[in-house]
Amino acid sequence: NTYNEDSNGVHVAAVAAMISGDQSYFYRVGFYGYQDTLWDDRGRHYYKLCTIQGAIDFIFGDGQSLFERCAISVIGGGFITAQGRDDANDPGEPSGWNTWNSEGNE
């Protein structure tokens, strides 16, 4: 994703990849962006040894994903993801993404 490369210091959201298929598999893929880098839209996805980098809520969507031994890097002091609950007291469903065996979560 080179969307922000010549933006004179102004960063805007740009999706590097939108994943909507079911049972998608990614091996050693790099997803680089600033905001909204990886749109894990819907379906079940498996990421192994991937690199995902961004600054603001850069992994998002309603997919159910497993990230095995992936390097997930925050640049600029932002957040990896934002929860999508309607109510702060809602515990949410036991689904979503999992960073099993990722760096720092072995």
Q: Which residues contact 27 (CB under 8 A, 6 or more apart)?
A: 48, 49, 50
Which band of pLDDT confidence, cut at 50, 70 and 90, is reported for residue 91? low
Residue with tokens 């999508």: 84
CB of 1 within 8 A of CB of 32? yes
Q: What is the pLDDT of residues 20-61, one digit of tens each?
A: 989 999 999 999 888 888 998 888 899 999 999 988 888 888
Residue 106 pLDDT = 45
Query: What is the amino acid identity at position 41?
Result: D
Residue 78 pLDDT = 77
Q: Which of 57, 86, 87, 90 is catalytic?
A: 57
Work out the burial of residue 33: count CB atoms within 10 Å of its CB; fewer than 13 is exposed, 13-18 middle, 19 or more buried. Answer: buried
Which band of pLDDT confidence, cut at 50, 70 and 90, is reported for residue 85? low
Whether 16 has a pLDDT exceeding 80, the answer reads: yes
The pTM score is 0.71
Structure tokens at 52: 């995902």
Q: Which of 55-64, 65-74, 81-90 has the lowest mean pLDDT?
A: 81-90
Whether 93 has a pLDDT exceeding 60, the answer reads: no
Whether 92 has a pLDDT exceeding 80, the answer reads: no
Whether 100 has a pLDDT exceeding 70, the answer reads: no
Active site residue 57: yes
